[in-house]
Amino acid sequence: MEPHYLQSLIGGALIGLSAGAYLLLDGRIAGVSGALSGALAGARADRTRNFAFLAGLLCGPLLYLLAFGGFPRVLIEGSTPLLALAGVLVGFGARLGAGCTSGHGVCGLARLSPRSLAAVGAFMASAIATVALMNLAGIK
C-alpha cells in the first residue's frame, strides 16, 4: 500500500528542483504571475521564454498521467460564481503583492527575501481569515 503523501512529496521536490534549475540556468525567478504578465505584455524575447515556461506548466498533468496512470480525484464544492470571484481576488492579490505564491513562497523564501516573507505572511493571514469567515457564514 503506497503512502498517501508520496505523490505530494515527489511533486514538492520537483517544484523545488525546477525552481532552482530555472534560477541557476536562466537567472530568473519561477513565478507564474510574472511569467503570465511577461507572456502577454513583455518584450518580444521575454514572451517566448514566458510562453515556454507556461507551456511546461500545462504539460505537468500529462506527465502525472503517464507516471501514475490516471488523475487524482478532485472534488470542488464551491459554486462557479464563488470560484470566479476567488480567481479574480487571487489575480488582484498577486498583482498587489508584486508576485504570486510560487514566486514569493517557493523562490523568495528560499532566497531569504524579506519582501517575500512579508508577502507569504500576508497570503497566509488572508487565507486563514477567509476560511474562518466562510466557515462562520456557512459558505462552502
The reply to whether 120 and 131 lie within a common domain is yes
For 1-20, how does the pLDDT look when each residue is reduced to its tens digit (9 = 90+)? 466 788 788 888 988 898 88
Residue 2: what pLDDT? Answer: 63
Residue 136: what pLDDT? Answer: 93
The reply to whether 68 and 5 lie within a common domain is yes
Q: Using a CB cutoff of 8 Å and minimum separation of 24, what contacts does 18-22 make?
A: 19/102, 19/106, 19/107, 19/110, 20/110, 22/53
Last residue within a domain, chosen from 74, 89, 116: 74
Q: Using a CB cutoff of 8 Å and minimum separation of 24, what contacts does 85-94 make?
A: 91/33, 93/123, 93/126, 94/33
The reply to whether 50 and 23 lie within a common domain is yes
The reply to whether 79 and 104 lie within a common domain is yes
The reply to whether 12 and 81 lie within a common domain is no
Last residue within a domain, chosen from 74, 95, 116: 74
Please check whether residue 105 is in contact with residue 116, taking contact to mean a CB–CB distance below 8 angstroms. Answer: yes
Report the number of distinct structural domains present in the chain. Answer: 2
Owning domain of residue 30: 1-74
The reply to whether 68 and 125 lie within a common domain is no
Q: Output the pTM of the full model.
A: 0.70
The reply to whether 59 and 116 lie within a common domain is no
Last residue within a domain, chosen from 22, 42, 74: 74
The reply to whether 79 and 137 lie within a common domain is yes
Please check whether residue 50 is in contact with residue 35, taking contact to mean a CB–CB distance below 8 angstroms. Answer: yes
> What does the alpha-carbon distance between residue 99 and residue 3 come to, in Å, rounded to a whole number?
33
Residues of the chain with pLDDT under 70: 1-3, 140
> What does the alpha-carbon distance between residue 118 and residue 96 come to, in Å, rounded to a whole number?
13
